[in-house]
A and B are shown apart, each in its own frame.
Chain A
């Protein structure tokens, strides 16, 4: 079966006063139907712009200059705006980090959910409103008919995110893009929201792209992981592969820098965390070689000159690093 979403060599650029930057730089990804792909990376690495490029919702000073986004075989980038608008919300839905800024403060939440239903499923207003109540029940909001009459500010952060999910789910999308859906929430609420998403995913056989900076969340929810660094995917593999043996020095560094990763695992309390020296390079003046060169402990002169491509070095395990075969041979486990 062909993958549900196939991204080929996608490049999204932004023209700013200081010049052009490539926020997404040649990203290729395959996402199979029904799976959860986690995209992980630090702030500014292009995770969100990748998701917005799929939705064709990038800010006005940006544009997609190269690549294809094949959704069930059709290139989303080639669709007219009307065709794309019909896909958005009905076949592909997205939820965002901060639910308060993505809900309209002057409409009741029920109406906001009903709007999507009315537009995409062409239902009369009354039925749409009833369906909105139904959706709210679906996402675990107690007393849904009454809550549907509330305005966003009357709900807690967790409830608002549930409303966002209800809205996204209202037309039974095949693909859900969740951009840091729990970053603004407390841990106990975060766990509830993540459970809700995976429950709905199972029920509706939905494909999920989960974007997060938190490796813990990604490892728990996703089957496959793509690690992004400065606009590029540097490593992608199954969760098992990445957690047993990360092959890109950046992935290794990310995992090693997490404090006390497992609760219940008897891990001698280490005094120091491993760190990745330096910080993420500015996208304005990138050097010619590997983008991780300056922070990498494996780097040599070759890395400074030529940029590595994302190559498959194990089954389904892609790494963009000149030293990956060397690292693989080392057999060094970081845990």
Chain B
């Protein structure tokens, strides 16, 4: 079996919302709720879910931009939250992020080349000439021309900016790339270019991806395995094919049937879609209010993510019976 690069164990992240002046009630938002997950070396793990389900919080925890309320993340067997300063710097080198909005994630006052070069300077890698060399090489690799090195972000289109963001993430030769909605802000024709680029780079640099998106079509195109998140929890985890052809969890089914089809004469819905992702339930399954197959046990006991088949996990009481 492929070794796991990242291992997440029972991770929780709660945000405390203090009450406002009108409302003194304090609320706790469990953004990430008991998530256990492995990312294998060399794979693309797709993470899909609706807005507010905790995808980005999970990404920030893995990148160690946030500290968890409880639980641990292991990188090659070492707990990343126990790293000392030096080890943390090395970890940051190995794990890089690509962000959604190429407009807000680039410093408008820095030229493309200096944006890409900055991580090298921070990590004190190479001398001036070597840095310049690796920046130009990388720019060509991601499809930007040498002449554009001294242009500023506003001179680039959205797709090109995303290429700059990708080059910046790659310049430190990381092992894991966390791509948080990397194509959501782009038009379809540009989206395809960036997805192809990401696939190429993965192969050329032997990367591992955690690919986050709300778009099931994009996730399907990119991922080897897919994790479906709902209100802070992973509700289903399986191989790409399995998720799309034999979804187990009622929420996964709902997501799939919500996809607009491309076939004008094709059938439309395989499952009814009702309700909205709202607050947590006090008791039982989080999805019970929207679930078409809700049983008696669902309002009493919370389902846990259990292994159903080989490499196949689902958090639903009724997995066997639906």
Question: Assuming the A-B contacts A158-B276, A186-B50, A188-B254, are A257 and B260 also in contact, with contact meaning beta carbons closer than 8 angstroms in the complex?
Answer: no
Question: Assuming the A-B contacts A188-B50, A273-B196, are A42 and B187 also in contact, with contact meaning beta carbons closer than 8 angstroms in the complex?
Answer: yes
Chain A CB within 8 A of B303 CB: no
A276 vs B67: C-alpha distance when bound (angstroms): 42
Question: Assuming the A-B contacts A243-B264, A259-B192, A262-B263, are A273 and B221 also in contact, with contact meaning beta carbons closer than 8 angstroms in the complex?
Answer: yes
Question: Assuming the A-B contacts A43-B187, A191-B273, A220-B268, are A258 and B217 also in contact, with contact meaning beta carbons closer than 8 angstroms in the complex?
Answer: yes
Instruction: Give every chain B residue within 8 A of A188 (Cβ-Cβ).
Output: 50, 254-255, 258, 273, 276-277
Chain B CB within 8 A of A187 CB: yes
Question: Assuming the A-B contacts A188-B273, A258-B188, are A220 and B217 also in contact, with contact meaning beta carbons closer than 8 angstroms in the complex?
Answer: no
Do A219 and B199 touch (CB < 8 A)? no
Chain A CB within 8 A of B37 CB: no
A35 vs B125: C-alpha distance when bound (angstroms): 62
Selecting from A74-82, A95-103, A129-137, A208-216, the interface stretch reads A208-216
A271 vs B224: C-alpha distance when bound (angstroms): 12
A-B contact count (CB 8 A): 122
A229 vs B157: C-alpha distance when bound (angstroms): 17
From A156, A259, A263, A279, give the contact of B157 (CB < 8 A). Answer: A279
Chain A CB within 8 A of B189 CB: yes
Closest CB in chain A relative to B213 CB, distance in Å: 10
Chain B CB within 8 A of A333 CB: no
Chain A CB within 8 A of B51 CB: yes
Q: Which of A195, A217, A220 has the most CB of B within 10 A?
A: A220
Do A243 and B262 touch (CB < 8 A)? yes
Do A216 and B259 touch (CB < 8 A)? yes
Chain B CB within 8 A of A72 CB: no
Chain A CB within 8 A of B210 CB: no
Chain B CB within 8 A of A261 CB: yes
Chain A CB within 8 A of B261 CB: yes
Per the 8 Å Cβ criterion, residues 258-294 of B in contact with A are 258-266, 268-269, 273-274, 276-278
Instruction: Give every chain B residue within 8 A of A265 (Cβ-Cβ).
Output: 263
Closest CB in chain B relative to A293 CB, distance in Å: 16
A271 vs B195: C-alpha distance when bound (angstroms): 10
Question: Assuming the A-B contacts A42-B189, A43-B187, are A263 and B51 also in contact, with contact meaning beta carbons closer than 8 angstroms in the complex?
Answer: no
Chain A CB within 8 A of B159 CB: yes
Per the 8 Å Cβ criterion, residues 210-243 of B in contact with A are 214, 216-218, 220-222, 240
Residue of A whose beta carbon sits closest to that of B247: A263
Instruction: Give every chain A residue within 8 A of B255 (Cβ-Cβ).
Output: 187-188
A271 vs B188: C-alpha distance when bound (angstroms): 17
Chain B CB within 8 A of A194 CB: yes
Question: Assuming the A-B contacts A258-B217, A261-B217, are A216 and B192 also in contact, with contact meaning beta carbons closer than 8 angstroms in the complex?
Answer: no
Residue of B whose beta carbon sits closest to that of A267: B220
Closest CB in chain B relative to A188 CB, distance in Å: 5
Chain B CB within 8 A of A20 CB: no
| Chain A window 223-252, contacts with chain B (Cβ cutoff 8 Å), 1 for yes, 0 for no | 000000000000000011001000000000
Residue of A whose beta carbon sits closest to that of B187: A42
Instruction: Give every chain A residue within 8 A of B222 (Cβ-Cβ).
Output: 259
A262 vs B261: C-alpha distance when bound (angstroms): 6
Chain A CB within 8 A of B36 CB: no
Do A219 and B264 touch (CB < 8 A)? yes
Instruction: Give every chain B residue within 8 A of A219 (Cβ-Cβ).
Output: 260-264
Do A269 and B261 touch (CB < 8 A)? no
Closest CB in chain A relative to B190 CB, distance in Å: 7
Question: Assuming the A-B contacts A156-B276, A191-B273, are A257 and B191 also in contact, with contact meaning beta carbons closer than 8 angstroms in the complex?
Answer: yes
Closest CB in chain A relative to B170 CB, distance in Å: 19
Instruction: Give every chain B residue within 8 A of A276 (Cβ-Cβ).
Output: 189, 192
From A156, A186, A194, A275, give the contact of B192 (CB < 8 A). Answer: A275
A254 vs B188: C-alpha distance when bound (angstroms): 7
Do A271 and B199 touch (CB < 8 A)? yes
| Chain A window 250-292, contacts with chain B (Cβ cutoff 8 Å), 1 for yes, 0 for no | 0001100111111111000101111110011000000000000
Chain A CB within 8 A of B244 CB: yes
Instruction: Give every chain B residue within 8 A of A43 (Cβ-Cβ).
Output: 187
Chain A CB within 8 A of B111 CB: no
| Chain A window 177-212, contacts with chain B (Cβ cutoff 8 Å), 1 for yes, 0 for no | 000000000111111101100000000000000000
Ordered by A's residue number, 14 sampled pairs between the chains whose C-beta atoms are within 8 Å are A187-B214, A188-B50, A191-B273, A195-B273, A216-B259, A216-B262, A219-B261, A220-B268, A243-B264, A259-B217, A263-B216, A269-B240, A275-B189, A275-B196
Q: Footprint of B on A, CB under 8 Å?
A: 42-43, 156, 158-159, 186-192, 194-195, 213-217, 219-221, 239-240, 243, 253-254, 257-265, 269, 271-276, 279-280
A-B interface, 3 closest residue pairs, ranked by CB to CB distance from nearest: A259-B221, A257-B192, A216-B260
